[in-house]
Structure 1
Amino acid sequence: MSVTPHVVPGQYREVSDANGRVYRVGETDRSLLGRPRAWMVWLPWIAMMGVSVYEYGYSSAEAVLEHAHGWTLTETFWIASIWAVFQAGVAFPAGRLRETGVLPARTAMLAGAVFSGLGFLALSHLSNPYVVIAGYSVLGGTGAGLVYATCINMVGKWYPDNKGARTGFVNGGFAYGTLPLIFVFNYWFHPSNYKMVLDLIALGMVLVVAFCGMFFRDPPKSWWPHDVDPLNRGVSEDARRVAKRLAKNPPAKGQFTPMEAIRTGQLPLMWFALVCIGGVSLFGINFQVPFAKSLGFGPLVAASSAGVLAVVNGVGRAIVGWLSDYLGRRQTLGLVLVVAGLAQFGVLWSGQAHNEPLFLIFAFLNGFGGGAFYPLFAALTPDYFGENNNAQNYGLVYSAKLVGGVGGGGVAAGVVAAWGYAGAYYLAGGIAFLSALITVFLRQPGAPRRSGDGSPVAEVGGRTPSPAEATT
Structure 2
Amino acid sequence: MATTDIPTSVPYRELTDSNGRMYRVGETDVDIMGRKRKWMVILPWVGMMGISSAEYAFASAEETLHTAHHWSSLHIFWMLGVWVFFQAAVAFPAGKLRESGRLPARWAMMYGALGTLLGYLSLAYAPHVIVAYLGFGMFSGMGAGMVYATCVNMVGKWYPERKGGKTGFVNGGFAYGSVPFVFIFTGYMDLTNFRWVLVAVGVFLAAMVAVAGFFFRDPPKNWWPADVDPLRPPDDPRARRALLKNPPAVKQYTPKEAWQTGRVALMWFCLLCTSGVNIFGIAFQVEIGQEAGFAGGIVATAMSLKAIVNGTGRGVIGWLSDRYGRKQCLIFVCIVLGLSQYGILWSAGMASLPLFLLFSSISGFGGGAIFPMFAAMTSDYFGENNNASNYGLVYSSKLVSGLFGSGLGALVVSNWGHTGAFTLAGSTSLLAGFVALFLTQPGRPRSKGIKPNPQPISRDAV
> Normalising by structure 2, what TM-score?
0.95
Q: Does 1:30 align with 2:30?
A: yes
Once the two structures are superposed, the pairs formed by residues 71-220 of structure 1 within 5 Å of their partners are 71-220=71-220
User: Paired residue for 2:385?
Assistant: 388
The question of whether the paired residues in 2 share the 8 Å contact of 1:95 and 1:391 is answered with: yes
Residues 407, 33 of structure 1: alpha-carbon distance in 2 compared, 3 angstrom cutoff? same
User: 2:238 maps to which residue?
Assistant: 241
Contact 2:86 2:399 in 1 (8 A): yes
Which residue does the alignment assign to 1:59?
59
Query: Residues 132-171 of structure 1: CA distance to partner in whole angstroms, max 9, x if unpaired?
Result: 1111111000011111110001111111011100000000
Kept in 2, the 8 Å contact 1:73–1:413? The answer is no
**Residues 295-353 of structure 1: per-residue CA shift (max 9 Å, x gap):** 22101210111001100000000000000000000100100110000000000000000
- 1:113, distance to aligned residue in structure 2 (A): 0.5
Q: Residue in 1 aligned with 2:250?
A: 253
Give the aligned partner of residue 265 of structure 1: 262
SS at match of 1:71: coil
Structure 1 distance, partners of 2:388, 2:230, is 22
Could you say which residue in structure 2 is the equivalent of 1:317?
Answer: 314
Q: Secondary structure at the match of 1:371?
A: helix
Q: CA deviation digits over 1:342-401, x for unaligned, max 9?
A: 000000000000001111000011101111110010000000000000000001111111
1:294 aligned to which of 287, 291, 295 = 291
Matched letter for residue 212 of structure 1: A
Superposition pairs for residues 455-466 of structure 1, below 5 Å? Answer: 460-462=457-459
- Which runs of structure 2 are paired with 1:396-435 in the superposition (5 Å)? 396-435=393-432
**2:334 corresponds to which of 337, 340, 363:** 337
Deviation at 1:464, TM superposition (A): 7.2
Deviation at 1:202, TM superposition (A): 0.9
Q: Secondary structure at the match of 1:175?
A: helix
Contact 2:8/2:459, CA 8 A, preserved across alignment: no
Structure 1 residues 429-438 or 291-300, which shifts more? 291-300
Over the residues paired in the alignment, what is the CA RMSD in angstroms?
A: 1.8
| Cα 1:76/1:270, change in 2 over 3 Å | same
Q: Work out whether residues 15 and 458 of structure 1, in 8 Å CA contact, stay in contact via their aligned partners in 2.
A: no
Tell me, yes or no, if the aligned pair for 1:254 and 1:447 is still in contact at 8 Å: no
In the alignment, the residues of structure 1 paired with residue 195 and residue 320 of structure 2 have an alpha-carbon distance, to the nearest angstrom, of 42
Kept after mapping to 2: 8 A contact 1:20/1:456: no
Deviation at 1:131, TM superposition (A): 1.6
**3-state DSSP class of the match of 1:370?**
helix
Moved more, 393-402 or 287-296: 287-296
Percent identity reads 51
User: What SS does the aligned partner of 2:378 have?
Assistant: helix
Q: Secondary structure at the match of 1:24?
A: strand
* Cα separation, partners in 2 of 1:82 and 1:457, compared to 1, 3 Å: farther
Greater shift in the superposed pair: 240-249 or 133-142: 240-249
Unmatched tracts of structure 2, length 5 or more: 1-6, 446-451
- Alignment partner of 1:52: what SS? helix
Aligned partner letter, 1:93: P
Q: Per-residue deviation at 1:218? A: 0.5
TM-score (norm 1): 0.93
For 2:123 and 2:233, how far apart are their aligned partners in 1? 56
Q: Please state how far the C-alpha of 1:456 moved relative to its aligned partner.
A: 9.4
Aligned with 1:272: secondary structure?
A: helix
User: Which residue does 1:351 correspond to in 2?
Assistant: 348
User: How far 1:10 moved relative to its partner?
Assistant: 2.0
User: Once the 2 structures are TM-superposed, how far is the Cα of residue 242 of structure 1 from its aligned partner?
Assistant: 1.8
CA contact (8 A) 2:261 2:442 kept: yes
Deviation at 1:207, TM superposition (A): 1.1
Quote the offset at 1:231 in angstroms: 2.7
3-state SS, counterpart of residue 14 of structure 2 = strand
Distance 1:180 1:459 in 2: 52
Which whole-Å CA distance do the structure 2 matches of 1:78 and 1:232 have between them?
Answer: 52
What's the CA shift for 1:458? 7.5
Query: Which amino acid in the other structure matches residue 112 of structure 1?
Result: G
Whole-Å Cα distance in 2 between the matches of residues 127 and 397 of structure 1? Answer: 36
Query: Which string of whole-angstrom CA distances, capped at 9 and with x for unpartnered residues, describes residues 151-206 of structure 1?
Result: 00111111101110000000001100111111111110111111011000111012
Query: Does 1:281 find its partner at 2:287?
Result: no
Whole-angstrom CA distance in 1 between matches of 2:232 and 2:306? 39
Q: Matched residues in 2 for 1:447 and 1:22: separation?
A: 16
The one-letter code sitting in structure 2 at the alignment partner of 1:76 is I
CA contact (8 A) 1:245 1:326 kept: yes
What do residues 86-128 of structure 1 show as CA deviations (whole Å, max 9, x unaligned)? 0111000000001011111011001110111111100110142
- Which of 281, 305, 310 aligns to 1:308? It is 305
String of CA shifts for 1:403-431, please: whole Å, max 9, x gaps: 10000011000000111111100000110
The code of the aligned residue for 2:211 comes to F
